[in-house]
């Protein structure tokens, strides 16, 4: 509408005419006719509304449990930091 009104008037006046409501376009007329027909049909036949109560169900997704067995090791904390009990073997040729 602004483009059409700006062809015959300054831009400021075209914007004013577009949004003032006193100069409706064909689309505005169609929308008003649609609104009026909706109001008339609502007044003529009130439709009965059915209230339905829907219970929401909660679904829980559980991952299957996979058993895992750790290997058993003999380990003593007192063995940490001590040198080996026997010196490593040395070659005779060195």
Tens digits of residue pLDDT in 28-54: 888 888 888 876 655 555 667 777 777
Residue, of 71 and 80, whose pLDDT is higher: 71
Backbone angles phi, psi at 77, to 5 degrees: -70, -20
In degrees, to the nearest 5, what angle opens at C-alpha 38 toward C-alphas 41 and 16?
A: 155
Q: In the 8-state DSSP scheme, what is residue 33?
A: H
Q: What global pTM score does this model have?
A: 0.36
Residue, of 79 and 86, whose pLDDT is higher: 86
Sign of CA dihedral 33, 34, 36, 37: positive
Cβ atoms 5, 14 nearer than 8 A: yes
């Amino acid at each position: 509408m602004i483009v059409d009104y700006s062809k015959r008037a300054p831009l400021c006046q075209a914007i004013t005419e577009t949004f003032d409501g006193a100069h409706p376009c064909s689309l505005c007329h169609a929308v008003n006719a649609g609104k009026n027909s909706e109001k008339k049909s609502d007044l003529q036949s009130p439709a009965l509304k059915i209230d339905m109560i829907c219970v929401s169900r909660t679904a829980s997704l559980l991952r299957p449990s996979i058993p895992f067995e750790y290997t058993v090791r003999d380990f003593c904390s007192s063995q940490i930091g001590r040198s080996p009990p026997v010196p490593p073997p040395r070659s005779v040729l060195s």
